[in-house]
Amino acid sequence: MMYEMINNFLYLFSSIFYFFLASTNTQTSNISPKRKVVIFVYICFSITLFSKFGRIGIIPVFCGVLFLLIWKEKKKIANVISFFVGYLIQICVDYFLTTATYLLFQLSIDDLREQYYLILAFIYLVLLYSLTRLARHILHTKLKIQEQTENSRLALMMLINLSICMFIFLSLVIYGDAVGYPPEMVSFNGILFFLYFLSSSALIFFTGRTIQNDSRLKLELVQYENLHTYTREVERLYEEMRKFHHDYLDLLASMKGYIDQENTDSLKKYFYENIMPASREIHIPDSRLGSLGRIKDEALKNLIAAKLMTAQEHGIHVNVEINENIEHLSMKIIDLIRVMGIFLTNATEAAEKSEEKKLDLAIICEDHKTIILLGNSTVPLKLPISKILLKNTTTKEGHSGIGLHTARKILDKYQNVQWKIYSEGTYFTVRISI
C-alpha cells in the first residue's frame, strides 16, 4: 500500500515537473522567475485537480499555462510557438520511450510504471531537457522568432502548423486514454507523431531560412540604393568644385591686368561690378556630413547620408553631430534602417514646410548606450503626439499615416530600446536609446 502511494506520488510529481519543463525551457530569458513560479503553482494545482478526468483533463491545464505565458507579454506569438514546440517535444519523448521499451523489451505502460519507473523517469528527464534546450536555440537563435512581427509569414506558418499538430496529438492522446492504450496503438501513434513532427519542423526550418535570406537580399538592395544616391551626390559635389576651380582661375586672370598696371580705381570698380555678383552665383554646398564616417555599419551610414543629402537638396539646413565611433548596436540593423528611414523622411517633409528649414541629427554614446536624437523645425502640429502614432492618422495630405505606426511597432519589439517623441513649439524631436 505504502509502495503504491509513493509510486503514485512520484508519477504525479514527475508529470507536473515534465509539463513545467516543456512549457518554460523553450522560452526566452524574458520569462521572469516570478512568472515561472506562478506557472509551476498553477500546473501543480490544475494537474492534481483534473487528473481524475484522465487525459482530457490536460486541456484546462494546457489553456491555463498558455494564458500565463502570454499575459502582459509583448512577444505573444513567440511565446505561443515556444510553448507548442515544448509540449510537442514532451509528447514525442513520451511516445518514443513507450514505443521503444515495448518493441525492445515487450514491456507495457503498466509494467514500466510498476518496475522501472525511476530509470525511465531519469531517461525521460534527460531527453526532454536536452531536446527543449536544442529547440530553444533553433527558435530564438537560428530563426529569431522573438523578432518576428504578428504578420510575419514565418511566425504565421509556424503557428498554423503547430496548432494543427497540437490538435492531432491531443486528439490521439485523449482517444488512446479512452481505449486503454493498446500496445499496437501506442507504437503506431509514436511513429506517426515522430514522422509528422519531424517533417513539418524541417519544412518550417528551411522555409524560415529562405525567408531570412529574402530579408537579407532586401537589405542589400536598400544598401545598394542608398550607396547609389550617396555616390551620385559625391559626383555632384565634385562637379561643383571643378566649376568653382575654373571660375576662380578666370577671376584671378581678369584681375591680374589691373594689378600689374596698379590701376586701383578700375580694379575696385571691376571687383564690385563683376567679382561680387559672380561670387553670389558660385554655390559650394554646406555639408556637415563628414562625421557620418563614424558610423561603421555601411548600410545604416548610406541610408542616413542619402536622406540628409536629400534634405539639403530641398534647401534644409542640416547639422550632424556624432561624438564617437558607432560600431555595435543592440538592435537588428534592418529594423533600425526602417525606423531611421521613416523618421528622416518625416523630418525632411516637415522641415521643408517650416520657416526655419532646420534638421539636426546627433548620435551620442554614453553609459554603454547609443542615443539617437533627431530634431526638425515644423509647422505647429494639428494633432497631439499620442494620436499621430496611431495607424491611419496623419497631418499630411495624400499620406496613409502608417509610417510612425510602423516605426512604433518595430521599436516596441525591443525591450532594450527606449524611445519617445515630443514637440516644443515648432520643434519636433525623436529620441531613441539603444
User: What is the pLDDT at residue 41?
Assistant: 92
Quick one: pLDDT band at residue 38, thresholds 50, 70, 90? very high
User: What is the pLDDT at residue 91?
Assistant: 81
Q: What percent of the chain has pLDDT over 70?
A: 72
The residue count of the chain comes to: 434
Helix (H, G, I), strand (E, B) or coil at 429: strand
Quick one: pLDDT band at residue 371, thresholds 50, 70, 90? very high
Max Cα-Cα span within the chain: 127
CATH class of domain segment(s) 287-434: alpha beta
> Are the C-beta atoms of 375 and 429 separated by less than 8 Å?
yes
Residue 245 has pLDDT above 90, yes or no: no
Quick one: pLDDT band at residue 180, thresholds 50, 70, 90? low
**CA–CA dist 319, 287 (Å, integer):** 8
Amino acid at 123: I
**CA–CA dist 86, 135 (Å, integer):** 8
Global confidence as pTM: 0.53
Query: Once rounded to an integer, what is the mean pLDDT over residues 293-315?
Result: 84
**What does the mean pLDDT of the chain come to?**
78
**pLDDT tens-digit profile of 373-388?**
999 999 887 777 767 7
**CA–CA dist 223, 217 (Å, integer):** 10
**Judging by beta carbons within 10 Å of its beta carbon (0-12, 13-18, 19+), is residue 348 exposed, middle or buried?**
buried
**CA–CA dist 359, 269 (Å, integer):** 40
Distances (CA, A) of 337 to 151, 256, 302, 346: 19, 53, 10, 14
Q: Which residues pair with 432 in a beta bridge?
A: 372, 419
Q: Could you tell me if residue 181 is left (phi over 0), alpha (psi between -120 and 50 degrees) or otherwise beta?
A: left
> Are the C-beta atoms of 343 and 407 separated by less than 8 Å?
yes
Distances (CA, A) of 8 to 13, 15, 117: 9, 11, 11
**pLDDT tens-digit profile of 275-288?**
666 655 554 444 45
Residue 188 has pLDDT above 50, yes or no: yes
User: What is the pLDDT at residue 170?
Assistant: 72
Q: Could you tell me if residue 228 is left (phi over 0), alpha (psi between -120 and 50 degrees) or otherwise beta?
A: alpha
Residue 360 has pLDDT above 70, yes or no: yes
Residue 320 has pLDDT above 80, yes or no: yes
| 401 vs 133, residue with greater confidence | 133
Helix (H, G, I), strand (E, B) or coil at 51: helix
Q: How far is CA 247 from the centre of its chain?
A: 52
Question: How many Å from the N-terminal Cα to the C-terminal Cα in the chain?
Answer: 62
Residue 206 has pLDDT above 60, yes or no: yes
The helix/strand count (H/E) of the chain reads as 14, 5
Find, among 75, 61, 50, the residue nearest to 18 by Cα: 61
Distances (CA, A) of 86 to 74, 134, 343: 20, 10, 39
**CA–CA dist 282, 426 (Å, integer):** 32
Please list, in sequence order, all residues whose beta carbon lies within 8 angstroms of the beta carbon of residue 40, skipping any fewer than 6 positions away.
Answer: 16, 20
Residue 201 has pLDDT above 60, yes or no: yes
Q: What percent of the chain has pLDDT over 90?
A: 12
Quick one: pLDDT band at residue 109, thresholds 50, 70, 90? low
Ordered DSSP codes for 407-419: HHHHHHT-TT-EE
Distances (CA, A) of 91 to 97, 98, 129, 379, 393: 10, 11, 13, 61, 47
Domain coordinates in residue numbering, the chain: 2-219, 287-434
User: What is the pLDDT at residue 284?
Assistant: 46
**Residue appearing with cell numbers 534638421:** 359
User: What is the pLDDT at residue 100?
Assistant: 78
Helix (H, G, I), strand (E, B) or coil at 430: strand
User: What is the pLDDT at residue 110?
Assistant: 62
Residue 77 has pLDDT above 50, yes or no: yes
**pLDDT tens-digit profile of 378-432?**
988 777 776 776 665 555 554 445 678 788 888 888 888 899 988 888 899 999 9
Sheet holding 317-322, edge to edge: 317-322, 358-366, 369-377, 427-433, 418-424
Please list, in sequence order, all residues whose beta carbon lies within 8 angstroms of the beta carbon of residue 61, skipping any fewer than 6 positions away.
Answer: 19, 43, 46, 47, 50
User: What is the pLDDT at residue 412?
Assistant: 85
**pLDDT tens-digit profile of 328-355?**
888 888 888 889 988 999 999 999 989 8
Ordered DSSP codes for 344-389: HHHHHHHHHHSSS-EEEEEEEEETTEEEEEEEEE-PPPSS-HHHHT
> Are the C-beta atoms of 19 and 125 separated by less than 8 Å?
no
**Residue appearing with cell numbers 513567440:** 78
**CA–CA dist 361, 333 (Å, integer):** 18
- Retrieve residue 425's grid coordinates: 513649439
> Are the C-beta atoms of 305 and 343 separated by less than 8 Å?
no
Helix (H, G, I), strand (E, B) or coil at 404: helix
